[in-house]
Each structure stands twice: as C-alpha cells, then as structure tokens.
Amino acid sequence: MGRNKQLREYIKAYKWSDMLAMVRNNKADPRRCSDDFAGRLVVITGATAGIGYATARTYASHGANLLCINRNAGKSRVLCRELETEFGVRCRDIIADLSTLADMHRVGHQLAQLEEPIDVLIHNAGTYLTRRVETVDGLEAVFAVNHLSSFVINYLLRDKLLAQSGGRVLLVNSEAHRFAPWGLHLDDLNWEKHRYSGLLSYGSAKLAQLLAMITFGDLLEGSGVTVNAVHPGAVRTESGKDNGPVYRWYKNNILERNFRSTAISADALYYLGVSAEVGGVSGKFFNLTTLENPAPPALDRGAADELWRISLKLGDLEGSVARVR
C-alpha cells in the first residue's frame, strides 16, 4: 500500500470515542486477582526498579518463583535475596544488557533451555531518551530496548512456548504508541533520515511492539499461549533517568507530580498474568486491565508483516525463520 493511501486509511479509522475511552481509562483502577500462584515460574525483564520491581514483589507475594533479567548485577542480587527472605520463594537472575544483540540472544537461548515451563513472561525493560543514542550494534537505543529485545527473545522462545500446554506473554507497552499517529517509518527505524525526538522515537518503538504482537499472536495461535500488551498506567518510575538534569527536574516536578504508584501497574500485570477471566484472551491491548482499541497503525497487518521481516534482519535472526499461520 502506498504511503498516501495508508495515511488515508489511518485517518478514516481514527475515532473520537477511542480517545475519550483512553482518557477515561487512565483514571480507572485495575481489576485485581487474589488467586494463588505458588510454585509457578514468572520471568520479568527490568525487575530492579519501578514497575518491574513492584510486579516481582506482587508475584512473589502470591508464591511465584521469579527469574529476573536485569542489567545491574548488584541490584539484581539484592532483589533476589529480598524476595527469597520475605516471601520464601525461589529467585534467580540473568544479568544482561538488553540494548545489545549478544545479550538479547543469550537471554533467549537460556530461557529456551529451561526445563520447566514459563508460566508468565513479562517484557518490562524499556528506556526513554531525549536524544538519539546508538547501541554497540549501531541500532537506535530506544527501538532496540523497547521493541527489538522483546522481539528477539520471543522469537528464540517460540519452540518452547509452542511446546508448552499454556502460558502468558505480557508486553509492558504504552498509550504513547499514539505518538506515532501515522505509523512507522519502516525505511528508517534507526532514525537516521528523520528528525529525532524522544516522544516520537518512544511512540514508534511501542507501536512496533504492538505490530509484532499481531504476528506472534498468529504464530502462537492454538498453542494455549497468549500474548497481550498493557499500558501500565500513569505511574512514577525511573524511566528517563539517563537524560539530562533539566529533563529529570521536569519529570519529577511537573510531568509525574500527580502520577500514581507503580502498585497499580503490578496489580494489572498480576491480573493479566493469572486471572482466569482473561485466560483465553490474546492479541489485545489493555489500559491497565481495561480492554482498549489501540491506534489504527497498531492494527495494520501489512505493516506488521514488513516489520517482522525487518526485525528478523536487525535482530540477526534471518538464519532461523519461523512459520507463521
């Protein structure tokens, strides 16, 4: 589809009711689940702070065993000791920098070799940068961490997930995917041709994650494994801490002044990972626990197919091609 025709299709698909629903849902509380999850395995990326930390504690408080994928070894070991001491669960970790292809692949392969099933996999690791930064692999960092890391790990886990009798994959996404209202620049995912901005790069990376969910949903169809995305609410996190002092002051004193606790994000992620009420739901976008229509570009199967091919190349996965239904 030509770019102009694609834009016209997006414009026709936008609805004021969806935008109003987003505003309304941002003020809502998540549904909660009190079911036990003792002895089940939950994998969380980026669990030493913010949403990941609150979510790890919530799952551990219900008896789940944790495997945390963290960048900082010291903080990761402190987290595991805390969870094991306070809740009596087992906590393991893998130390990895998910901005690098080598660590994305290493994590994917290590998880694929686990003997026990992964009951819940939560892709929480993310970053927000106000200036363009390249990774060691020459990739734009926000795209690499927010989209490509979850793509590579999910792809390398596909055989294990398909062989399981069930499981849930949760993508910590964002309403910010709406910051890319006219879709992805699929010819410039590395932001080399277009002017970079923090909001646009972040929105585009989250949109890419939603488009990848379409194809992974097709790949996992009929396996009993579901994949869903969730906006974790307007909550106070450490996201953006790598930006300059002006941004950090703005974030702490203005942007997040009225934001809520990450406890609501953890409640939502526990509900979506455990509750029987959403057990068969897959390929959906939730604002906390409220089902919501994402922006039209996030539903574009043509763009999803093209992004899949590009992500295989950028993720160094071209030698291993999965069959998609």
Residues identified as active-site: 202
- What is the rounded CA–CA span in Å between residue 235 and residue 32? 17
Query: Residue 272: which residues within 8 A CB-CB, separation 6 or more?
Result: 168, 170, 228, 230, 278, 286, 289
Torsion sign (Cα): 211, 216, 221, 224: negative
Q: Closest Cα partner for 60 from 308, 311, 257, 273?
A: 273
**What's the CA gap between 93 and 77, in Å, rounded?**
8
Residue 70, burial from CB neighbour count under 10 angstroms (0-12, 13-18, 19+) = buried
Q: How far apart are CA 195 and CA 43, in angstroms?
A: 36
In our burial notation (b when 16+ CB lie closer than 10 A, e otherwise), range 103-132 reads: bbbbbbeebeeeeeebbbbbbbbbbbbbeb
In Å, what is the CA distance from 236 to each residue of 115, 159, 279?
36, 36, 29
With beta carbons less than 8 A apart as the criterion, state whether 139 and 314 touch. Answer: yes
Q: Are 307 and 207 in contact (CB under 8 A)?
A: no
Number of neighbouring beta carbons within 10 Å of residue 207: 29
C-alpha distance across the termini of the chain, in Å:
22
DSSP calls for 258-283: T-B-THHHHHHHHHHHH-GGGTT--S
DSSP annotation of 310 reads H
